[in-house]
């Protein structure tokens, strides 16, 4: 490939990234997408920077803090790093596919497949740990491919760096080195890497980069690992749940595209490098399917598993017969239509219950309304981290927000920060999405008065949730119920 052609490809990818950033900024505004409570939670973390946090590593919080320092406070500033990461992912996918296939057409097809996959587009729209996991996973997988298939032992170093940085986002990136370790151990032609100074150097780099998470957890009773252990717990075997997992994944990836991909990818590739990507990807998918047989698997958990398969499929698109290619294009059109309907459901006659993004809707205005009717207070108290995060972000004036009131809730980052006892003698607000209040509220204040409730109404007139606000006077420190789980 000529240098001019490569420069043209990089410029096109850069232009595509800028167009996507503008499109996403317009989309979240037009669709009324407020911050998801996870995004708002990470924003809360960004205001108290640390080496790690209760459930995730520190990278997302660090990047939000950097973005707001440079560009100021706001929802798009919180999401900008994720939009840039989605663009960087397209660059990596392109370069990875081009190396696997030695073909820029295949590389561009990999980019198109990534863009038209609803799961990847949506997770690249919001500022959560997933898009950073995809970015680090793709880089780590590509560098491992280079080390094993291209025999470039020095590629282990960036692979170790990618996994180490990935650990600062999400511990599930550990599935990547685990599977690679099994692959190296089982293949006699690759076992010499086990004696490679580059491989062991890469592992040292990985451990060094993940050391903030390890040290923080060592000083906090391994809280993140306790939280992650809850995700691998066994409930009961269910074949129905396993089948639902497969259907849910196919829907998130675009059903018609999945069907055409299956007709191409069901055979074991003859090429060693392609066989590596094929085997690793199917191994990860099998792991999550087995997990789904025993307990609920969240929609986003297996998403990195498909990156290798997507690269393999991209190289076969030009060889598809006409009817399969037409079906593939129909699948792209269907995926685009589904995304349009999903982001603008009320324009197509769907109700709030059918809105897949209802958790991101109607937070800003009701919280602003609550702030306008509430008297001046020193702090806000909420029953869980989800409400706390949304209130903390959208409340017009900066106020400390605390979580307390129920033994049934799980631990969260608020349990590690200074508690509400420092508010002794101050007035506060209790804000919840459920009527009533815990009995401890009456013990913790001299008296409380309910304020008018505030409905969060969707464009179709449905009340999505209601904010219940109680004004409480003179906080008296008490012993609140401790969380029951991690």
| pLDDT > 70? residue 234 | no
pLDDT of residue 236: 79
Q: What is the pLDDT of residues 411-464, one digit of tens each?
A: 899 999 999 999 999 999 999 999 988 999 999 999 999 999 999 998 888 899
Tell me the C-alpha distance between 184 and 280, whole Å.
11
Q: What is the pLDDT of residues 153-178, one digit of tens each?
A: 999 999 999 999 999 999 999 999 99
Q: What is the mean pLDDT of residues 14-36?
A: 96
Alpha-carbon 35 to chain mean position: 13
In degrees, to the nearest 5, what angle opens at C-alpha 41 toward C-alphas 39 and 43? Answer: 70
Q: What is the mean pLDDT of residues 280-296?
A: 93
Q: What is the mean pLDDT of residues 303-309?
A: 97
Tokens coding 298: 């969240």
Closest C-alpha among 309, 259, 264 to residue 284: 309
Tell me the C-alpha distance between 428 and 297, whole Å.
39
Provide the whole-model pTM. Answer: 0.95
pLDDT of residue 233: 60
Tokens coding 31: 């669709």
Tell me the C-alpha distance between 241 and 56, whole Å.
27
Tell me the C-alpha distance between 352 and 6, whole Å.
47
Tell me the C-alpha distance between 435 and 440, whole Å.
15
- The structural domains of the chain, with segments of one domain joined by +, span 3-343, 362-475
Cα(first)–Cα(last) distance of the chain, in Å? 52
| pLDDT > 70? residue 1 | no
| pLDDT > 80? residue 230 | no
Q: 405-422 burial, b if ≥16 CB within 10 A, otherwise e?
A: beeebebbbbbeeeebee
Q: What is the pLDDT of residues 379-423, one digit of tens each?
A: 999 999 999 999 999 999 999 999 998 778 888 999 999 999 999
- Mean pLDDT, the chain, whole residue set: 94
| pLDDT > 70? residue 235 | no
Tokens coding 345: 């459901």
């Amino acid at each position: 490939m000529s240098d001019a052609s490569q420069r043209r490809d990089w410029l096109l990818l850069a232009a595509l990234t800028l167009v996507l950033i503008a499109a996403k900024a317009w989309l979240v505004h037009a669709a009324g997408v407020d911050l998801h409570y996870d995004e708002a939670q990470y924003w809360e973390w960004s205001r108290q920077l640390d080496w790690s946090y209760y459930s995730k590593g520190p990278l997302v919080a660090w990047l939000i803090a950097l973005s707001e320092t440079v560009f100021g406070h706001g929802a798009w500033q919180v999401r900008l790093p994720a939009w840039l990461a989605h663009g960087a992912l397209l660059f990596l996918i392109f370069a990875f596919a081009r190396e696997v296939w030695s073909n820029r057409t295949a590389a561009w097809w990999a980019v198109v497949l990534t863009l038209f996959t609803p799961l990847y587009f949506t997770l690249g729209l919001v500022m959560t740990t997933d898009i950073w996991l995809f970015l680090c996973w793709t880089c780590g997988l590509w560098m491992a491919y280079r080390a094993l298939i291209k025999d470039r032992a020095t590629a282990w170093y960036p692979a170790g760096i990618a996994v180490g940085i990935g650990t600062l986002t999400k511990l599930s990136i550990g599935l990547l080195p685990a599977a690679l370790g099994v692959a190296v151990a089982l293949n006699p032609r690759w076992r010499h890497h086990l004696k490679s100074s580059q491989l062991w150097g890469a592992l040292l780099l990985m451990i060094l980069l993940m050391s903030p998470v390890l040290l923080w957890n060592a000083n906090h009773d391994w809280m993140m690992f306790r939280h992650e252990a809850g995700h691998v717990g066994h409930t009961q075997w269910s074949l129905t749940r396993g089948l639902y997992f497969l259907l849910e994944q196919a829907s998130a990836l675009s059903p018609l595209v999945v069907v055409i991909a299956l007709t191409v990818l069901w055979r074991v590739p003859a090429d060693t490098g392609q066989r590596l990507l094929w085997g690793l990807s199917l191994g990860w998918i099998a792991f999550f399917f087995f997990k789904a047989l025993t307990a609920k698997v969240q929609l986003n958990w297996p998403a990195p598993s498909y990156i290798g398969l997507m690269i393999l499929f991209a190289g076969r698109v030009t060889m598809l017969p006409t009817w399969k290619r037409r079906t593939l294009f129909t699948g792209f059109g269907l995926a685009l239509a589904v995304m349009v309907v999903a982001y603008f459901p009320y324009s197509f006659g769907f109700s709030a219950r059918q809105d897949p993004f209802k958790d991101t809707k109607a937070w800003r205005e009701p919280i602003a309304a609550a702030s306008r009717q509430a008297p001046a207070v020193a702090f806000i108290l909420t029953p869980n981290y989800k409400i706390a995060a949304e209130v903390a972000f959208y409340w017009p004036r900066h106020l400390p927000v605390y979580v307390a009131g129920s033994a049934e809730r799980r631990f969260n980052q608020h349990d590690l920060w200074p508690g509400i006892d420092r508010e002794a003698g101050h007035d506060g607000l209790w804000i919840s999405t459920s009527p009533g209040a815990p009995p401890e509220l009456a013990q913790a204040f001299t008296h409380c008065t309910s304020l008018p409730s505030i409905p969060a109404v969707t464009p179709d007139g449905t009340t999505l949730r209601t904010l219940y606000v109680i004004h409480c006077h003179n906080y008296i420190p008490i012993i609140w119920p401790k969380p029951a789980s991690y």
